[in-house]
Amino acid sequence: MPEPRSTDLQEVELIQHVFYGNLNNLPNLASKIVRIFTSSTFTDTSMERNSLMQHTYPKLKEYCREKHGLEFQVVDMRWGVRDEATDDHKTTELCMQEIDNCQRVSVGPNFVVFLGQKYGYRPLPTNIEEAEFRMILSVSSPTDARLLNQWYKLDSNNIPSLFCLQPVSSIFTNFTNKAHPRLMEEDQSQWWETMVKLNRAVRIAALELLNQGKFTIQDNHRYNWSVTEQEVVRGILNAKDRVDHTLAFFRHIENINVNYLRHSMKFIDIVSKQVDEEAQRMLSDLRDIRVPAALPKSSIIRYTVQWSDEEGLNRTVHAEYLQNFIDTFYTRIVELIDRGVGQQKSLAVNRVYTEILQQLHVVNYFSQDFQGRTDILERVRHYVHGSSKQPLVLWGEGGCGKSSMLAKIVTESKSWFASKNCSLIRLVRFLGTTPDSSSIGPLLRSVCQQISILYEIPENSIPVELSQLTNYFKRLLEKATADKPLCIFFDSLDQLSSADGAHSMCWLPPTLPNHVKLIVSTLPGIYNILNTLRNIIDSRENFVQIKPLGEDLATTVLKAWLDRHHRTISNAQWELVHQRLVECNIPLYVKLVFDEIKLWKSYTKPQEKDLAKTVSTSINKLLGRIENQHGHILVEHALSYITASKSGLSEAELEDLISLDETVLNDVYQYHLPPIRRIPPLLWTRIRNDLPNYLVEREADGVSVVSWYHRQFAEVSHERYLSNPDERRIYHSNMADYYLGIWAGRPKPFQFSDHQKRMFNLPSTDGEADRKVPAQPLIFTINNVTVTATTTSPTVRYNLRKLSELPFQLIHAQREDDLYNYVLFNYDFIHAKLSCMPLNLCIFDYESALEFVYDKEVKLMSDALRLSSSVLASDPNNLACQIIGRLLPFYITCHKIASFIDQCESIGLQVMGLVPAFNTLASPGGPLVYSLEAHQFAVYGLEVVSSGQSLLTVSNKFIVFDLSGGDIVRIIDPKIEGIMTYLSLAPDQRYCVTTTISNQYIICNLLTGDFILRDYQLLTNNQQQTGGHTTKTNNKTTSGQPTDSLLGAHVSNTHFVLWTAKMYQVYTNKGINP
């Protein structure tokens, strides 16, 4: 037998490390996106960047999606922006953050630089440390010193203190005043003149300090380098694994005619009508020395082109070069993508490993800022070490810090076992954060797989059917040992989907075996989960309320957070904070306060320091500030799309949607025409940066999406942006058009304003433009070469985003005709969805449509699918024969159903050659709603339970069905010989009693699934006096004669009665004769 490879051993060790729930040295998550930062100077590469945007990026997006199932996104911080000056001077900082983000998440390539003969924009330093700034002032002329003191102010709230460059609009007040274009243009012109003076002042001072020996060469360089150089240093020179992730394109233009200043200044640095030699030296050092030293020759692509007096470079003269450039770019990026996908560890495709790893990263994220609450930690530690055999419940209002509390408990729990010679297993799920933690079936399956691997149990024994899976999960817990104790943590039970009876909590074990502890958290009042848990868990000690922090702890938390960000606030500012913390101090409010006060400068004016008093008003204030800063229309529409989505939006989807939104584009492009009518990526990046930790990335439908993390943000955003029904329908309609692919590969019309027509000398206000959005087929098919290399086998990948979002958007847009044509009565759509998603999600689309508008044909289709549930669940290809067999009688009277049947008889034949010619199956609308197919023997008792939501049935097993869909919620198997003949249910529905043909009776707790099985025995006088109860394996009296046969039972909330033909006996619900 060959020795295992070292890489195999490392993989095994890594699996063990992650599966045990260890939180240190976690590997990064496998990415679902190719995200490339493109670096270039502002004006000299516009032709190339526009061509890439128009031709290459759409092809790469399609390639990534169809070949690898990846999102593709380019971060070009200069495309679509008129200049690099911004009011808050944050562009350079944002560029650095985006480079880090691309390096963090991208599969394969993450950074591409285009360098020509222009060194580019050299920004002013945004922040200068106090000591350094005073050194600069000491060597500056009086004029320069006055100018610097005017534009830089000391912020002693930073540690160490900084002099901060002030927003342009704080002095030139019309700098961003779009309402008065002429005044805005004047102020922008003045700022450019002022910026030149400021740059000259700091550079002269830095050079003087260098000559005096007070500055190093690097210190001086910081006051001179361009944004592009800073990006290249971050993206290439200081990056890891450059060969696999970066490319450089160098272009040299021969014979640049400097005399044509209007054109030449776009391609080379010009100062006072002469070439800027200093900039050229720094460019040469970067382009010709440092980058070639860092990258192999194969990673640098060089071009030489001739200067043209017609604009320097243009598409006509340089068409051959341009085509070669975009073709090469595409080829080289595809190579890096393929290599990156191939290099992803094989563990990346291990769904359970990926799920666990993502959950552990969530733990580290939530626990990093935790402070205080030692009383609760001690109470949980006591539970973990104690004798309790029931779960522990953390509960509290939204925003009270339950998730952070649970994450801290997970982090601390390992230390609680330090004195014991054991290997603690921490099994963690933050519910709702991933697809496998959002509904009960995938959750239990994932948990069972993790436990099975840890306790060396074959995974192939894990059941598929939910009720069996629930029972299997409870039995698996018994595998825990003293050497390998098991602590399970489920956060936010309220985030579980209600499907499959998840909120009934019947899947949660009420009694735990030895060496197992289970800790859960939930909101009160949501889906009645907390009350249900109180019915299941007897001990009141096992319910721990998470209360607000209190003013003192909230202050401690704020100080710790500020300290971690190297910030503080003044005593006067603290006074205002203390006033607000007295009124509200739940963690979410404290976090919102922190995000506000960390921006406060020591020189912030008093009227700017007002703090909202509640969570909702704080969120509104935050959103209002972002709207004022980035534009009301852009922010409102971007956040509206996220809020109106079913499960969040990928950033590529959001950019596409905004690029199709004329209201946003007309606002963004009021004063200039874009080369391609799309939203500049920089604009959304700036918004996202100002919503830290409130918009989170998670996986949905196989891609990384952005969505609100806190329920309160979603609620406030919905109220703020989507409360108007007409406006809400517009957003849903726009999203429906996107997932329908209406504007893929074709121009979308729009209207120029009259002002734009005059400004740009346009012949008409009518316009149209291709927005470069992707097509939306139901299925992506890529031909992969087989092993023989003689044939190809198609690999099918379903468009999960379309299948999930399109029905939701059409329903909420109230576009019934499109909903019927493209979704509910479209064979291709329904067959595709059944092929890759559970049947109940398909039925849910019909039920959701009925909630808005009742339609008989929609109801018939829904009922037909429900009737066919067991067949379709096993093979979706039976769709055609099931629908025809059930709905053929409605062919003449129901036109939409007739259309669907026609599709079944044409398209459906491609996957199912046998279709019925007559109505061979039970049709909906009759007495049969759906078949409850689970019992092997006749059913002798049934009761409607859970407020009409479920049906309890008995035969040789207890089986509970979900009446909304016919799915099995639970199976309780007492393993009796024969069948149960009578069923009686307690009024509070907590337990029931049945009798069997074997003269046995069963007491079953419906909340926990526990049961007591006993032979019926007549009580002797002595037993009646002592209150005892004897259970025997035979069914005879002391005289050897059989007892009377049990005929039935009747149950109250506390007692039950059994009777025969001759007598009855009373018992408690524990089976004791009182």
pLDDT digits (tens, 9 = 90+) for 170-200: 999 998 887 788 898 899 999 999 999 999 9
Kindly indicate the confidence band of residue 167, based on its pLDDT and cuts at 50, 70 and 90. very high
Instruction: Name the H helices within 115-177.
Output: 130-138, 142-151
191 against 310, higher pLDDT: 191
Q: How many CB atoms lie under 10 A from the CB of residue 82?
A: 12
**Which of 190-194, 319-323, 735-739, 1031-1035 shows the lowest per-residue confidence on average (mean pLDDT)?**
1031-1035
| 189 Cβ neighbours under 8 A, 6+ residues apart | none
Residues 1026 and 1040 sit within 8 Å (Cβ to Cβ): no
- 845-852 long-range Cβ contacts below 8 angstroms, 24+ apart: 845/807, 845/808, 845/811, 847/964, 848/807, 848/808, 848/811, 849/807, 849/811, 849/816, 849/819, 849/824, 852/811, 852/814
Q: What is the mean pLDDT of the chain?
A: 87
Q: What was the pLDDT predicted at 333?
A: 97
Kindly indicate the confidence band of residue 1032, based on its pLDDT and cuts at 50, 70 and 90. very low
Integer Cα distance of 6 and 705 in angstroms: 36
Coil, strand or helix: which one is 890? Answer: helix
pLDDT digits (tens, 9 = 90+) for 15-31: 889 999 999 888 877 77
What one-letter code names the amino acid at 223? Y
Strand partners, 961: 951, 968
Q: How many CB atoms lie under 10 A from the CB of residue 119?
A: 26
Q: What was the pLDDT predicted at 490?
A: 96
**Which of 108-122, 424-438, 778-792 shows the lowest per-residue confidence on average (mean pLDDT)?**
778-792
Q: What was the pLDDT predicted at 1024?
A: 43
195 against 928, higher pLDDT: 195
Integer Cα distance of 745 and 773 in angstroms: 7
Q: What was the pLDDT predicted at 606?
A: 61
| Structural tokens at position 992 | 């029931």
Strand partners, 246: 111
Q: What was the pLDDT predicted at 707?
A: 87
Determine which helix (DSSP H) or strand (DSSP E) holds 105, and give its type and residue range: helix 91-105
Integer Cα distance of 88 and 83 in angstroms: 14
Q: What was the pLDDT predicted at 226?
A: 94
Q: What was the pLDDT predicted at 462?
A: 87
- Nearest-10 crossing angle of helices 130-138, 142-151: 150
C-alpha dihedral, 762 to 766 to 770 to 776, nearest 10°: 170
Which of 101, 114, 123 lies closest to 44 in space, CA to CA?
114
Determine the straight-line distance between the first and last CA of the chain, rounded to whole angstroms. Answer: 67
Pairing of β 968-972 and β 958-962:
antiparallel
**Which of 112-126, 466-480, 603-617 shows the lowest per-residue confidence on average (mean pLDDT)?**
603-617
**Which of 206-220, 469-483, 749-763, 883-897 shows the lowest per-residue confidence on average (mean pLDDT)?**
749-763
Integer Cα distance of 519 and 21 in angstroms: 15
* Mean pLDDT of the 1008-1014 span: 84
Over 70: is that where the pLDDT of 780 sits? yes
* Mean pLDDT of the 922-942 span: 79
Coil, strand or helix: which one is 960? Answer: strand
Coil, strand or helix: which one is 153? Answer: strand
Q: What was the pLDDT predicted at 995?
A: 94
Residues 654 and 627 sit within 8 Å (Cβ to Cβ): no
Q: What percent of the chain has pLDDT over 90?
A: 49
Over 60: is that where the pLDDT of 1037 sits? no
480 against 685, higher pLDDT: 480
* Mean pLDDT of the 778-795 span: 54
Kindly indicate the confidence band of residue 1027, based on its pLDDT and cuts at 50, 70 and 90. very low
Q: Within its chain, how far is the Cα of 155 from the centroid?
A: 37
Q: What was the pLDDT predicted at 1019?
A: 60
Which of 700, 701, 779, 776 lies closest to 739 in space, CA to CA?
776
Residues 109 and 247 sit within 8 Å (Cβ to Cβ): yes
665 against 1040, higher pLDDT: 665
Q: What was the pLDDT predicted at 1030?
A: 34
Q: What was the pLDDT predicted at 609?
A: 61
**Which of 142-151, 160-169, 798-807, 1003-1012 shows the lowest per-residue confidence on average (mean pLDDT)?**
1003-1012
* Mean pLDDT of the 836-849 span: 87
CA distances for 605 relative to 475, 593, 608, angstroms: 64, 17, 5
Over 90: is that where the pLDDT of 479 sits? yes
pLDDT digits (tens, 9 = 90+) for 336-372: 999 998 877 666 667 888 889 989 998 998 888 787 8
Residues 556 and 597 sit within 8 Å (Cβ to Cβ): no
* Mean pLDDT of the 989-997 span: 91
230 against 910, higher pLDDT: 230
Integer Cα distance of 542 and 382 in angstroms: 11
Over 50: is that where the pLDDT of 787 sits? no
- The secondary structure of residue 537, as a DSSP letter, is -
Strand partners, 1011: 1004
Q: What was the pLDDT predicted at 930?
A: 66
- The secondary structure of residue 929, as a DSSP letter, is S
| Structural tokens at position 1068 | 């408690």
- The secondary structure of residue 390, as a DSSP letter, is S
DSSP string, 431-495: TTSSGGGTSHHHHHHHHHHHHHHHTT--GGGS-SSHHHHHHHHHHHGGG--SSS-EEEEEE-GGG
**Which of 141-150, 586-595, 637-646 shows the lowest per-residue confidence on average (mean pLDDT)?**
586-595
Q: What was the pLDDT predicted at 803?
A: 94
Phi and psi (nearest 5°) for 91?
-60, -45
| Structural tokens at position 916 | 């019925």
DSSP string, 832-867: HHHHHS-HHHHHHHHHHHHHHS--HHHHHHHHHHHH
Kindly indicate the confidence band of residue 80, based on its pLDDT and cuts at 50, 70 and 90. low
What one-letter code names the amino acid at 790? T
Kindly indicate the confidence band of residue 393, based on its pLDDT and cuts at 50, 70 and 90. very high
Over 90: is that where the pLDDT of 221 sits? yes
Strands (E) located in 260-348: 270-271, 274-275, 300-306
Q: What was the pLDDT predicted at 429?
A: 95
Kindly indicate the confidence band of residue 608, based on its pLDDT and cuts at 50, 70 and 90. low
Look at phi and psi of residue 80 and say left if phi exceeds 0, alpha if psi is from -120 to 50, else beta: left
Integer Cα distance of 1048 and 252 in angstroms: 96
Q: What percent of the chain has pLDDT over 70?
A: 93
Residue with the two structure tokens 């029904």: 725
DSSP string, 761-791: T-S-SEEEEE--PPP--SEEEEEEE-TTSSS
* Mean pLDDT of the 312-338 span: 94
pLDDT digits (tens, 9 = 90+) for 495-517: 887 777 788 888 899 889 999 99
pLDDT digits (tens, 9 = 90+) for 285-294: 999 999 999 9
Q: What was the pLDDT predicted at 805?
A: 95
Find the angle CA(600)-CA(601)-CA(605) to the nearest 5 degrees: 85
Which of 202, 237, 231, 238 lies closest to 121 in space, CA to CA?
231
- 54-60 long-range Cβ contacts below 8 angstroms, 24+ apart: 54/675, 54/676, 54/772, 55/326, 56/326, 56/329, 56/330, 57/772, 58/772, 58/774, 59/330, 60/34, 60/330, 60/333, 60/334, 60/337
Total count of residues recorded for the chain: 1074
| Structural tokens at position 327 | 């073709």
81 against 280, higher pLDDT: 280
Whole-model pTM?
0.77
456 against 690, higher pLDDT: 456
Sign of the C-alpha dihedral computed for residues 672, 678, 680 and 685 taken in this order: positive
Over 80: is that where the pLDDT of 572 sits? yes
Q: What was the pLDDT predicted at 81?
A: 56
Q: What was the pLDDT predicted at 413?
A: 92
Burial of 143 per CB tally in 10 Å (0-12, 13-18, 19+): exposed
Residues 527 and 498 sit within 8 Å (Cβ to Cβ): yes
| 770 Cβ neighbours under 8 A, 6+ residues apart | 676, 677, 745, 746, 747, 748
Q: Within its chain, how far is the Cα of 421 from the centroid?
A: 39
Cis peptide before 160 (omega within 30 of 0): yes
